[in-house]
Amino acid sequence: MPQHDVAAFADLPDAGLHRIERDGQKILLIRDADTVQAIGAECPHAGAPLDEGLLHAERIICPWHKAAFCIRSGAVLDPPAVDPLPRYPVEIKQGRVLVDTDPIQSPTPVQPSDTRHFVIIGGGGAGAVAAQTLREVGFTGRITMLDQGGDVPYDRTLLSKYVLSGEEGSEKTPLQTPDFYRQHSIDRVTAQVAGLDPAAHSITCADSTAISYDAALLATGATPVKPDLPGVERGNVFLLRDRRDADAILAPVLRQDSRRVVVLGTSFIGMEVAASLRERGLTVTVVGQEATPFETTLGPEVGRGLAAMHQEKGVSFRLGRRVKALEGAPTVQSVRLDNDEVLSADIVIIGFGVRPATQFLSNLPRNEDGSVSVDATLSVTEDLYAAGDIARFPDNGRLIRVEHWRVAQQHGRIAARNMAGERVRFDAVPYFWTIQYMKRVDYVGHAEGWDAVIIHGNPQEQDFTAYYVKAGIVTAAACMGRDRDAAALIELFNHRRDWTADQLGETPAALIA
Ligand SMILES: Cc1cc2nc3c(=O)[nH]c(=O)nc-3n(C[C@H](O)[C@H](O)[C@H](O)COP(=O)(O)OP(=O)(O)OC[C@H]3O[C@@H](n4cnc5c(N)ncnc54)[C@H](O)[C@@H]3O)c2cc1C
């Protein structure tokens, strides 16, 4: 048995994180009252060192993208990880900690044999995690996952970052292998859904195939907005949502015949694309109607800090400007602004936001933005659930819709558990990240406007926490260079949402240490 004497029990600080490596296994030891837990030391999502994460209430939170794991079982409690941490047997003998490097095999719960058919529409962040979760909770019936793209579910967030920049990202993609879906009898079917009749429990595909379901999950994500601009249909004007879009943008870049890029839009997709193509050495100009990038989401001071980072890397901005036309034929050669300035362009990339992909749901009530309202269990109506970018869900006493990878996956997990017969509520605080020039901004909460932004640290130095305050209460916070504080804010906001900026202070991590 590969058992190793790894430490004196007395030397492990209570609730401390102690990393060891034996037999090639990277193991995290956590003193847990009078015992010790031994789990994998690296996050299976992107390999982050979990000893730099945050331990709170039997959860270890990854310092990078904030996946959370149970320290006793290694189970994923919050995505973006989709795989559990390995767990190792521990014995304490005569004050010494003995760890076996053969991981413990955890049995999957199995429910009684089931003849029901669950259909998941959309194989993105929410859909893929829902399918996997159904098997994890022991559902033995039939699972069909319909997706119009037909790709093995992959990490979409990498497209604007590593796929476009050509840098190496360590995130796991695809989320699972084709074999995984085969082994778990999850039928991946390439099909575009064209209609759904909730009363008849029936789905119609674009090729007229009809599929009946016992329970279904809507997880069709969103479609980028294409503005009504002269020239927008030309071949060198791109949107970015999926792998094919990223490949289409890269084709002329890799041919080396397109060097000048104009990005329209100063929010997350536009700015990530700008950073990535600049990292490839292209000439990048960003056009935005706001005075500062990210102004409506992060506020002007944080926006100015991030804009300065782009400018230092050589990105040019035209701010407070609208686009009048994309000019040139057969391809666009320039972008005309509302002040008649003309920007030369070999490629134009549009980041004007997205709209929920729900056009096919004519039999369901939809909100003005195309989203579908759900209750806290992610239920739309009987036996029908919605998750991810299309779902408008209850959050802190109001209904909100967000476009966050981790939230979509959390939704997928909760919806799947409810489809399988549990009754669980989604009540986690929303969290997203953005990465530009390999630097991450973490955002916790949801602020639709604020009275004040209280900033600790300095956005110009990419080291800050910004609190967005409405009526005295912190509704959201953005952090850069402060991984453990961002993790702590998630834990604090999950616990209660009435914090004032004074209470959270300079170092939220200290509050739950
Ligand atoms: C380039 C990019 C970068 C991003 N970066 C970040 C980031 O850094 N951090 C973050 O938090 N979020 C990020 N996001 C947002 C995040 O990816 C989304 O919030 C998330 O993918 C939503 O998951 P979803 O399952 O709702 O939709 P999706 O992941 O979009 O999946 C929907 C799936 O449904 C399929 N589909 C659509 N219509 C139909 C139909 N009629 N029939 C069959 N199938 C259909 C689509 O093909 C797609 O595969 C990014 C998004 C993009 C596009």
Instruction: Quote the CA–CA distance of 153 and 176 in Å, as a whole number.
Output: 7
Q: Where are the alpha helices (DSSP H) in 155-283?
A: 164-165, 178-183, 243-254, 268-279
CA of 126 from ligand 1 middle (Å) equals 8
Q: What band does 2 get if pLDDT is binned at 50, 70 and 90?
A: confident
The predicted-structure confidence for 247-300, as pLDDT tens digits, reads as follows 999 999 999 888 999 999 999 999 999 999 999 999 999 999 999 999 999 999
Phi-psi region of 304 (alpha: psi -120 to 50; beta: other; left: phi over 0): alpha
Can the peptide bond before residue 174 be classed as cis, meaning omega within 30 degrees of 0? yes
* pLDDT (tens digit per residue) in 397-437: 999 999 999 999 999 999 999 999 999 999 999 999 999 99
Q: Kindly report, residue by residue over 97-106, the tens digit of the pLDDT.
A: 999 999 999 8
Rounded Cα–Cα distance for residues 193 and 122 (Å): 9
Q: Return the H-helix or E-strand segment holding 408.
A: helix 405-419
What is the SS3 string spanning 152-169? Answer: CCCCHHHHHHHHHHCCCC
Which residues contact ligand 1 via a Cβ below 6 A? 121-127, 146-149, 156-157, 159-160, 192-193, 219-221, 240-241, 269, 357, 360, 388-389, 403-406, 408, 432-434
Stretch 472-482: mean pLDDT, rounded?
A: 97
List residues bridging with 211 in a β-sheet.
203
Q: Which of 82, 147, 151, 165 to mutate to test the pocket of ligand 1 (most atoms within 8 A of CB)?
A: 147
The two structure tokens encoding residue 259: 């060097």
Return the H-helix or E-strand segment holding 312. Answer: helix 300-312
CA-nearest of 326, 310, 333 to 260 is 333
pLDDT band at 1 (very low <50, low <70, confident <90, very high): low
Q: Can you give the pLDDT at residue 243? A: 96
User: Quick one: pLDDT at residue 266?
Assistant: 95
Coil/strand/helix, residue 417: helix
Q: How far is the CA of 107 from the centre of ligand 1 (A)?
A: 32
Ligand 1 pocket check: which of 162, 165, 220 to mutate, most ligand atoms within 8 Å of Cβ? 220
- Give 391 Cα–ligand 1 centroid separation in angstroms: 12
Radius of gyration of the chain (CA): 24
Range 163-169 average pLDDT: 91
DSSP string, 35-89: EEEEEESB-TTT--BGGGSEEETTEEE-TTT--EEETTT--EEETT--SPPPB--
Q: What is the pLDDT of residues 324-364, one digit of tens each?
A: 999 999 999 999 999 999 999 999 999 999 999 999 999 99
Residues in the chain: 513
CA-CA distances (angstroms) from residue 215 to 38, 127, 132, 200?
38, 13, 16, 11
Q: Which of 93-97, 138-142, 451-455, 508-512 has the lowest mean pLDDT?
A: 508-512
- Please state, rounded to an integer, the average pLDDT across all residues of the chain: 96
Rounded (10°) angle between helices 125-136 and 405-419: 40
Res. 109: pLDDT tops 80: no
Residues 299-309: what's their mean pLDDT? 97
Please give the distance of CA 223 from its chain centroid, rounded to a whole number: 16
**CA torsion angle 390 392 394 397 (round to 10):** 150
Residue 354, strand partner residues: 224
Phi, psi (degrees; rounded to nearest 5) at 253? -65, -45
Question: What's the start-to-end Cα distance of the chain, in Å?
Answer: 36
Relative to the CA of 391, which ligand 1 atom is closest? 26
